[in-house]
Structure 1
Amino acid sequence: MLASSAAIAQVNTAGSADSTAIEELIVTAQKREQRTLDVPISLTAYSGDFLDEVGVQEFEELSLFVPGFEVQNQSPNNPGFVMRGITSDDGGSTVEPRVSVFQDGVSISKSRGSYIELFDNARIEIAKGPQSTLFGRSALIGAVNIVQNKADPSGFAAAAKFEAGNFAYRGIEAMVNVPLSSTFAVRFAGRIKKRDGFVENLLGGRDFNSTDTAAYRAVLNWQPNESLDADLIFNYEENNPSGTSFKSLTYLPTETLTGRVLGDLGRNSGAALASSDGFAGGRDLGLERTTWGVTGLVGYKINETLQLSSISAYRRFKSLEIFDADGFSLPLFVFAEDARGEQYSQEFRINYDSGERLSAFAGVGYFHEDGSQAVPLQYNERVFAARTTPALAGLLGFTAPNVGSLDAINSAAALSTLKLVHRETFQNYGRTTSYDVFADATYKITDQFEVSAGIRYSNDDKRSGFRGTLDNGGSVLTSGSAANAANPATARGIFLQSTPGGLPQYQSFSDSGVTYRVVGRYAVSNDISLFAAYSRGRRPEVLSPAAPAAPQGNVRFTEVAAEIVDSYEAGAKTQWLDRRLSLEGSVYHFSYTNFQTSIQTAPGVFQTISAGDASSTGFEGQVNWKPTGQLTFFGTYGYNNGRFDNGRFEGNSFRLSPDHTASFGLKVVVPVWEGDLTFLPTYTWQSRVFFDNDNDIPALQSTGDRVQDEVQGAYGLMNMRVSYQPTDANWRVEAFASNLFDREYIKDAGNTGGAFGIPTFIAGEPRYFGASFSIKY
């Protein structure tokens, strides 16, 4: 009966533990320090030491050990965060996130800037359910807070790790903490890692899905007296991986000019993809992304009961990703996404805690965000016509699974008047200025029973914008002739119509709303805690822009009502056997009104709509058992039955949301060779998952796709880590492997190609293995 959120024991990285008791993490999810057992919400928290030990470096790996939390990583520029079945992954600048991601209380939730390296962290807290009163306006269904290690004036410390493995993997991670006085310290940390792609590029060049990341952090800490504690944090990250492996299962990968077959229709085998004809300044497929930010944290103890906190932040991201989303070698189309964002935020909060019956906090917040998302599209009209015109398709060899050759298409007289290169661009703009007022209080009615209640009021001033351009004239295919295609008044795009003069059009609006929570907690004993909660979350109203219906027409703006979720939850957190066994769990039910989702109105063009009502019922559980100092077992299980209740997708499962997930791990420490040999196998499993809310049901397809193959069946992944550390030594060697049995799976399907009836598939990572050497001072 017990399940859900818990902190797995912090691990003694120096060897065997001194005690069989499970060490407890102290968390700050309720804006004050508490044992996880005393926090009456579903909360999973892991120490930085534990994450290092199991090899977690990214959100996608973290999610495998968190019930109710999934992360899909197409690329660092295109992640999907899924909390209890609800996905937050839309890159549009007008879209509000559902799952909030924070660094030390600062929102980094915008999709294209949210996926970051996880290194040198004190802990990570994942709070499930509506958490707006605790974490902010966008925490509709949950929040992830990364608590980074701060500089420490009390002593010098340093650490380094060197890794190498297959696919030419090489990585280095380092940290140094330097006290400059008894009140001032600096800390530097960084990670660089590179790995070749694991999907072969059949046309030559870099293989797809590589890793190329550099992340750095500098932290200053100043503690002039017992009342004041201030941190200044600078984060910077750069990502330059190769292109994403959008693989077609409709057409064979071929050599572009001759049509010679180069590979097969396997979901995980090599792909024949490339950019074309000088697109995006001649850039190759891949990602160029930078994110950076500066955060100021100030805590001032006014007296024994009051403390003032300030969080000030500035952050920017810029990304350019080039992708060949049709899945085969001919230049049917190629896309780019140029996403940019800038934000400022300020929060002041005052905490009250007398150590008796009442503890509370209240505050105000300011948030300003300005962003844009430009998507250039390039089409070869001759290839487009050869594929979409039945009379020509057979003549030119464009019948699945054959692709035909570019030579044959270019020499076809019937296609000679069509453009080799046609370019269109759409760009959306979003600006939000938000003000928040919030308060939360916990009152102990008795020594065992307490009630918590919180409320947040948010007011948003928003501006949405859209621009559409035909970058080298209209399409001959749609305008009828070269003359019409060159006339701005009548020139048409293939899927996009231009705005007047190619200029953006804007529309502004305001939105406000209230979110709240009520929680009751009963402490049966110091080691058993029961809780029940009701909370309301709100995803703010958005103004969704769409391209004009005709050339030089006005942008179409559609108001999408605020998404409301009501959450009901009950759970238990317990410790047994002298704190050697920890069991935690919860059951929950969500009800959504005006469920916001995105539909594809044209290749690469998405629009936010309301999909009606939806609901989700689930259970989450976690166990941690340490029978001896040399043996630890941990496991998680999550069940989520999320379905659309009515509307376009009635009865369908939520996208990227398996009904069942589980993870298991075992740590065995064997004293040997005057040291400790540690074995740490872990296994993660999930049930079937769909990649779109339409569940690839043929009746819901408008492209003629009649095969329901955009789905990943149930699968599990086995990981293994084996390390050796001499007694009283400060170094360790380790061997590691992920996906040990080389299980083939996909992490996404459909994608942009799905809008043409030629869905593409993105392979999951194969077996990775390697070794590392680490040292600490």
Structure 2
Amino acid sequence: MTHSKLLLLATAAMSAAFATGAYAEANDSATQVEELIVTAQKREQKTLDVPIAITAYGSDMIDKLGIQEFDALSLYVPGFEVQNQSPNNPGFVMRGITSDSGEATNEPRVSVFQDGVSISKSRGSYIELFDLQRVEIAKGPQSTLYGRGALIGAVNLVQAKANPAAWDARSKAEVGNYGYAMFEGMVNMPVSDTFAVRVSGRLKKRDGYVKNLLGGADFNSTDTAAGRIALNWRPTDKLNFDLIYNYEHDRPSGTSFKSLTYAPTDPATGKVIGDLGRNSGAALTASDGFLGGKQLGINRSVRGLTLLSDYKINDTLSLSSISAYRRFDSLEVFDADGFALPLFLFAEDAHGRQASQEFRLNYDNGGKLTAFGGVSYFWEDGYQKVPLQFNEKVYAVMAAGVLAKPNGLSLPTVTAIAPAALKSVHRETYANYGETNSYDAFADATYKLTDKLELTAGVRYTYDDKSSGYSAVLENGGSVLGGSTATVARGLFVQPTAGGAIQSKGFTDSGLTYRVVGRYTPDDHTSLYASYARGRRPKVLSVGAPATPGGAVRFTELPAEQVDSYELGAKSDLFERRLTLEGSVYHYSYQNFQTSVLNSAGQIVSANAGEAAATGFEGQITAKPVSHLEVFGTYGYNRARFGNGLFKGNSFRLAPDHSVSLGATWTVDGLGGAFAFTPTYTWQSKVFFDSNNDLPKFQATDKIQDEVQGAYGLANFKIGYTPANQPWAVEAFVTNAFDQKYIKDAGNTGDAFGIATFIAGTPRYYGLSFSLHY
């Protein structure tokens, strides 16, 4: 069924349901669609009153949809995609623009926040979604509101705070297939009338869903422990403090980078033990004492401490402060070639530290003018170290074309026919380093020209003092294949810096971002707006290995990215708020689009792809014609293409032209309680995984365009029972109910050597849950 037919069917169903029940319960508040209060414009507002394309979900909706992670959330947000290659390597995509680089020198394009604190660095941004008050996703350039990294949008997680007003406690346990087990709990404890403590957490495990054909843990598992402690202190009616500590630790098994060039085999015998399917079992290994014998997998910890302070100076002015410190440490070991022979073995050792401080003064006297202004400071220091190991013998035999496709050869055979001078184990390590000191000043004001017309203008100035660094070392001498001689040790992937030392270079950058918005409200239930916004991503000093051993590091300055966005939008709630509608059309043009490319050595480096543009539409609808039925749907269209630069005419990576979500919740009384049935269906059109769209003209060795995922849909179902006047509930659920086969990613490091790898998408999951509300 095409997306247009699905939309037509959904619209017809909503219209029919509304027509039969729109006026039957005219005064029943149970038929109203939930109205959320958001703070996207740094003050509390109804979503209807915010002249931004914003999708917001409260805790009830998040629970209803079974959302635990960002990739599930993105299915129900038009214009937003999240690729969960692994917790250590996510891709956040807003209106076609992807932010996923793990380099310490790079800047994000899509900002992710926890209570206004940026957690945007790729390796520390993917976190469990639990015990939230709401999630706000603001699309379009939001630099004036959110600051650095909100080039094309921002996601803000508003966490539930400790509350001195009431005791509260909840818990939930889930079990399911693939050995799934999850437990989460929350306790809110008032200590006094002015002080409270809230503790919450989640433990989650699931076996891998891609079979490890060589034995051991299956690939793409889940192993997460996340916790939060929140303190609230309200010493006076005018002063409030929230102190929040977050911690998460992830230890999943290895990611299934699977080759479709070479079949899974037993490396000792060469016997074929699997097939070339994108979603079937893989034969991947860590070998030969790499990093002291580390196995394939991820070990990542993320922690952060935030202090939110609010002081009401008087009835007109209030002062807010956000103080934060955050760090992440991650190590991922992965088999980059995707097949059983020890050709390549990589790791990524990434670390980041950041501290930030923001002061904001808000003005609102209940009159025509509301405004805020402030200053902020942001510090970040981190590095990304990439140890790698390769077998020169396997590499030489493959390069010579002797490693026949698709079955290859056994390792003993390869060792026997390869030149004796080649090493079985060669190791190199390269690393990039980045440090940022950033200073911002910002202001934003809204003025009501009339009761129906208001204008908003905002501006932010940013000054960055940054440095970029690089080092590379040969861990066990030079590579014979790299051309080492008796006097010069050469690398195969990278050439070493002199003595393996870090070479760094400092630079500064500054710029303005701004927005202008006009909003017209013909009545209390309709809002129309038009906006122009300028977004900016600071310039980057990209780093690369020396051209010769011991030579100078290659520093390349990539100019600041700039996006100009134009948007028209409309929002409405109708029929006593039984129906809410939102829609926006937009166009943006992009200058100096920085993209990631694989060079001939298999390194991911930054490059300037020139101009780009996109035109799109985003729509949301929710209807509750009767108290026992709620239906909703979203649709996003985004035609994003490169302009006159490196990839002229190509589609953006990870960016479908069309995306759809449909869902409903139907409740029925019975057995002394209530049953709730929630079906959802999400669909997206074709996506490419690289800016080159896997076109042969951009690749030296790969002449087949197979690194693409065609259109596909996912169906989820939940049915739950809640007894009347009882504190418990049970639920059965299934995701990807029809076991749709798809891939999350393709290409990867192996693509630079003509042996692209593929990562399978999640299969059908099902299970049961039991929850208590004390």
SS in 1 for 2:413: helix
CA offsets per residue over residues 90-149 of structure 1, 9 Å max, x none? 000000000000000000000000000000000000000000010112100000000000
For residue 220 of structure 1, what is the aligned residue in structure 2? 231
CA offsets per residue over residues 319-351 of structure 1, 9 Å max, x none? 000000111000001000000000000000000
For 1:643-654, what aligned pairs fall within 5 Å after superposition? Answer: 643-654=641-652
Match of 2:694 among 684, 693, 696: 696
For residue 758 of structure 2, what is the aligned residue in structure 1? 761
For 1:141-540, what aligned pairs fall within 5 Å after superposition? Answer: 141-390=152-401, 393=402, 398-412=403-417, 414-479=418-483, 484=486, 487=487, 490-540=488-538
Whether contact under 8 Å (1:603, 1:753) holds in the other structure is: no
- Structure 1 distance, partners of 2:572, 2:182, is 39
Structure 1 residue 601 displacement after superposition:
1.8
Runs of 4+ with >2 A deviation: none
SS in 1 for 2:31: coil
Whether contact under 8 Å (2:493, 2:602) holds in the other structure is: no
Indicate whether 1:31 and 2:42 are aligned.
Answer: yes
SS in 2 for 1:411: helix
For residue 776 of structure 1, what is the aligned residue in structure 2? 773
For 1:605-644, what aligned pairs fall within 5 Å after superposition? Answer: 605-644=603-642
Structure 1 residue 603 displacement after superposition:
4.5
For 1:604-753, what aligned pairs fall within 5 Å after superposition? Answer: 604-702=602-700, 704-753=701-750
Counterparts in 2 of 1:133 and 1:365: CA distance versus 1, 3 Å: same
- Structure 2 distance, partners of 1:635, 1:712, is 23
CA offsets per residue over residues 366-393 of structure 1, 9 Å max, x none? 0000010000110000000010013xx1
SS in 1 for 2:468: strand
Choose 646-655 or 599-608, whichever is displaced more: 599-608
- Structure 2 distance, partners of 1:241, 1:353, is 48
- Structure 2 distance, partners of 1:18, 1:733, is 26
For residue 134 of structure 1, what is the aligned residue in structure 2? 145
- Structure 2 distance, partners of 1:596, 1:287, is 28
- Structure 2 distance, partners of 1:113, 1:523, is 41
Amino acid across the alignment from 1:224: P
Structure 1 residue 479 displacement after superposition:
2.2
Q: TM-score, normalised by structure 2?
A: 0.96
Whether contact under 8 Å (1:63, 1:69) holds in the other structure is: yes
Structure 1 residue 166 displacement after superposition:
0.1
Structure 1 residue 604 displacement after superposition:
4.5
Amino acid across the alignment from 1:421: V
Structure 1 residue 491 displacement after superposition:
1.1
Whether contact under 8 Å (2:494, 2:601) holds in the other structure is: no
- Structure 1 distance, partners of 2:703, 2:149, is 37
Whether contact under 8 Å (1:288, 1:321) holds in the other structure is: yes
Amino acid across the alignment from 1:742: D
Amino acid across the alignment from 1:512: S
Whether contact under 8 Å (1:375, 1:604) holds in the other structure is: no
For residue 89 of structure 2, what is the aligned residue in structure 1? 78
Whether contact under 8 Å (2:602, 2:750) holds in the other structure is: no
Counterparts in 2 of 1:313 and 1:603: CA distance versus 1, 3 Å: same
Structure 1 residue 547 displacement after superposition:
0.3
SS in 2 for 1:280: helix
CA offsets per residue over residues 477-511 of structure 1, 9 Å max, x none? 1225xx53xx4xx2111120000111010000000
Amino acid across the alignment from 1:758: I
Amino acid across the alignment from 2:467: R
Measured on the aligned residues, the alpha-carbon RMSD in Å equals 1.1
- Structure 1 distance, partners of 2:59, 2:437, is 34
For residue 15 of structure 2, what is the aligned residue in structure 1? none
Indicate whether 1:43 and 2:41 are aligned.
Answer: no
Whether contact under 8 Å (2:33, 2:578) holds in the other structure is: yes
Whether contact under 8 Å (2:258, 2:278) holds in the other structure is: yes
Q: Unaligned regions of 5+ residues in structure 2, if any?
A: 1-6, 8-27
- Structure 2 distance, partners of 1:576, 1:185, is 39
For residue 10 of structure 1, what is the aligned residue in structure 2? none
Whether contact under 8 Å (1:70, 1:82) holds in the other structure is: yes
Percent identity reads: 64
For 1:4-15, what aligned pairs fall within 5 Å after superposition? Answer: none
- Structure 2 distance, partners of 1:643, 1:106, is 32
SS in 2 for 1:648: coil
Indicate whether 1:595 and 2:581 are aligned.
Answer: no
- Structure 2 distance, partners of 1:762, 1:405, is 24
Whether contact under 8 Å (2:602, 2:753) holds in the other structure is: no
Amino acid across the alignment from 1:472: N
CA offsets per residue over residues 194-235 of structure 1, 9 Å max, x none? 000000000000000000000000000001111001000000
Structure 1 residue 179 displacement after superposition:
0.4
For residue 9 of structure 1, what is the aligned residue in structure 2? none
Whether contact under 8 Å (1:201, 1:271) holds in the other structure is: yes
Structure 1 residue 281 displacement after superposition:
1.2
- Structure 2 distance, partners of 1:598, 1:739, is 31
- Structure 2 distance, partners of 1:174, 1:675, is 24
CA offsets per residue over residues 530-550 of structure 1, 9 Å max, x none? 000000000000100100000
Indicate whether 1:114 and 2:125 are aligned.
Answer: yes
For residue 546 of structure 2, what is the aligned residue in structure 1? 548
Structure 1 residue 18 displacement after superposition:
5.4
For residue 68 of structure 2, what is the aligned residue in structure 1? 57
- Structure 1 distance, partners of 2:601, 2:254, is 18
CA offsets per residue over residues 249-299 of structure 1, 9 Å max, x none? 111000011101000000000000011100011010000000001000000
SS in 2 for 1:415: coil
For residue 12 of structure 1, what is the aligned residue in structure 2? none
SS in 1 for 2:30: coil
- Structure 2 distance, partners of 1:729, 1:593, is 58
CA offsets per residue over residues 557-576 of structure 1, 9 Å max, x none? 00000000000000000111
Amino acid across the alignment from 1:292: R
Whether contact under 8 Å (2:381, 2:435) holds in the other structure is: yes
SS in 1 for 2:235: coil
Amino acid across the alignment from 2:576: D
- Structure 2 distance, partners of 1:35, 1:494, is 58
- Structure 2 distance, partners of 1:712, 1:23, is 36
- Structure 2 distance, partners of 1:159, 1:524, is 43
For residue 14 of structure 1, what is the aligned residue in structure 2? none
Q: TM-score, normalised by structure 1?
A: 0.96
Q: Unaligned regions of 5+ residues in structure 1, if any?
A: 4-16
- Structure 2 distance, partners of 1:96, 1:23, is 36
- Structure 1 distance, partners of 2:175, 2:601, is 40
- Structure 1 distance, partners of 2:668, 2:193, is 41
CA offsets per residue over residues 427-479 of structure 1, 9 Å max, x none? 00000000000000000000110000000000000000000111100001122
- Aligned pair count? 749
SS in 2 for 1:19: helix
For residue 12 of structure 2, what is the aligned residue in structure 1? none
- Structure 1 distance, partners of 2:610, 2:165, is 56
SS in 2 for 1:337: strand
Match of 1:98 among 109, 132, 137: 109
